[in-house]
Amino acid sequence: MRVAALQFKPVKGDRVESERRLLALLERLQPPIDLVVLPELALTGYLFSSRDQILPLTEPSDGPTAQLLAPVARRLGAFVVCGFPEREGQTLYNSALVVGPDGAVDSVVRKTLLYSADVPWASPGDQPYRVIPTPAGTFAVGICMDLNDDRFIDWLTGAQPDVLAFPTNWVDEGHDIWTYWAMQLWETRISLVAADTYGTETLDGVTTGFWGRSAIIEAAGQPGGPMTLLRAAPAEGDAVLVAQLELPRARQEGLLA
């Protein structure tokens, strides 16, 4: 499976400029490609103090983000996964949009395990997880904190998608997150395509830094086998990562080779 992860930081408060910059990054991708993963809340930024603050940026699943990504998915012949603030009726979710190779919305995945920054505005996801087939393999979607949820890891272990598409805005707390991500999936035989943001956001006088360092990590072919870091972005700056995943692929190196 040929996959891509885009590390990206939107211009908070400027949707038009954020879209322009994101589309310029996406133009660097060329077919054939099977799966493209963009960050959590990719076009809005992450920190909002209240429902009222984020409400003007929320959208339905067939809204501006779906319309923006439809021609990209068609051009690449790929599934494109992108985080966005979803509005369904009066309920708001931190969600990921899955656009299929035909440009139509395939599905929406809602973040189940909320981070403290989500709580002021988002409701927890209320839908079952699902495995999405592609001609090259299968994938599932988890959003940031979902990778900390034992229930989600248990589901992944049983469902056995080939790849986890992972939109995230992972907060930098000074830890080696590549190893942590790999450890969370170590027993599952599932590869990881993690698209993160970077830099900082300030809300109510408090500045939060993000990990950056988006990554494509390939799983071994056996439970508990090694995980291999195939591609990695720097801590700062937009980046496009592309790799060919072998599904599955037995390796003999250490946890992160």
pTM score of the predicted model: 0.95
β 200-203/191-195 pair status = unpaired
**The predicted structure's pLDDT at residue 253:** 39
Q: What is the mean pLDDT of residues 192-203?
A: 98
Q: What is the mean pLDDT of residues 122-137?
A: 96
**The predicted structure's pLDDT at residue 114:** 98
**The predicted structure's pLDDT at residue 187:** 87
For residue 199, count other CB atoms closer than 10 A to its CB: 13
Q: What is the mean pLDDT of residues 122-138?
A: 96
Q: Residues 229-241: pLDDT tens digits?
A: 999 999 999 999 9
| Helix, strand counts (H, E) of the chain | 5, 14
DSSP secondary structure string for all residues of 54-65: HGGG-B-TTSHH
The model's confidence at residue 222, banded by pLDDT at 50, 70 and 90, is confident
CA distance 99 to 36: 10
DSSP secondary structure string for all residues of 209-244: EB----EEEEE-SSTT--EEEEEE--SSS-EEEEEE
Is the pLDDT at 242 greater than 90? The verdict is yes
**The predicted structure's pLDDT at residue 251:** 37
Is the pLDDT at 257 greater than 90? The verdict is no
Q: Residues 55-75: pLDDT tens digits?
A: 999 999 999 999 999 999 999
Q: Sketch out the chain's domains with CATH numbers.
A: 2-244 (3.60.110.10)
Q: Mean pLDDT across the chain, nearest whole number?
A: 94
The model's confidence at residue 223, banded by pLDDT at 50, 70 and 90, is low
